[in-house]
Chains A and B, each alone.
Chain A
């Protein structure tokens, strides 16, 4: 189990690093897919099976493909940024912030007693319970989520089609 955890962690961290460091945008999205798959593997390892399946369906299946389409629509060729500078004007500020936050969190987690605990075990939340909870206790957030997703869908279409509507 520990070996699987470390392999998955290496895949996840390398995927995330390459996703923000590579020059070619398409390669960035491909390593982002690797990162999403690593996270899904972590969910399976933590016995959150449904969430792992959701992660693969939504992130690998939908979000990554959406990003590839956005790259194809905004770049004329393969998404290569060419010789131009890839980092923004104040890139050192971003990297410094990230390093400081990583160091702070590392120090806090190392000091905390909570970090030593092991899984409690016991009965797992079953898929049946999750389904029942979704339509009883959580029915209002569930419906609100449906409204939000509809609004986001319509909003995304309207924003992306703005030019066509104005031309008519």
Chain B
């Protein structure tokens, strides 16, 4: 496989930017969570790319990736539970309408 490291880094940089754009500019709370998941995946892909290109024989980066995936799964479960709880309160999932903590 003769793909230079830069191509993979570029791919995950663009994926991160797409996720950031979705998390910051969409109204729906579930799409915000989707954007966060995309950013998570871009970061984990970066970790695995560096593992493959430089530290192929050491399992450390692999372990980090597995733990990061578990944390992301727990985070999305709690996040979606929060979205459901907030929907009960406000009858809406628009992030622009959650203003009770606004100073």
Contacts and interface: CB of A to CB of B under 8 A. Distances in A.
Given A116-B4, A123-B56, A124-B56, A13 B11 contact: yes
Contacts of A160: 81, 84-85
Interface in A98-128: 98-99, 101-102, 105-106, 109-110, 112, 114-125
Interface of A: 1-2, 5, 9, 12-13, 16-17, 19-21, 25, 28-29, 32, 35-36, 39, 42-43, 45-48, 50-51, 54-55, 58-59, 62-63, 66-67, 69-71, 73-74, 81, 85-95, 97-99, 101-102, 105-106, 109-110, 112, 114-125, 129-130, 133-134, 138, 141, 145, 148-149, 152-153, 155-157, 159-160, 162-163
6 A-B pairs with the lowest CB-CB distances in the bound complex, closest first: A94-B24, A115-B6, A20-B22, A94-B25, A98-B21, A102-B17
Given A125-B59, A156-B78, A141 B67 contact: yes
A39 B25 CA distance: 24
Contacts of B7: 5, 9
A159 B11 CA distance: 36
B22 A32 contact: no
B52 A101 contact: no
B25 A102 contact: no
B21 A35 contact: no
Nearest to A48: B48
A95 B56 contact: no
Nearest to B52: A46
B37 to A, nearest CB: 7
A102 B26 CA distance: 18
B74 A141 contact: no
B56 A74 contact: no
Please indicate which of the listed interface residues A25, A130, A159 has the most CB atoms of chain B within 10 Å of its own CB: A159
A106 B13 CA distance: 7
B101 interface: no
Contacts of B37: 32, 59, 63
Contact of B6 (A50, A110, A119): A110
B87 to A, nearest CB: 4
A97 to B, nearest CB: 6
Given A58-B69, A63-B76, A119-B52, 9 more contacts: A2-B2, A20-B34, A43-B48, A70-B30, A74-B84, A94-B25, A130-B59, A160-B85, A163-B85
B6 A93 contact: no
Given A94-B20, A105-B13, A89 B96 contact: yes
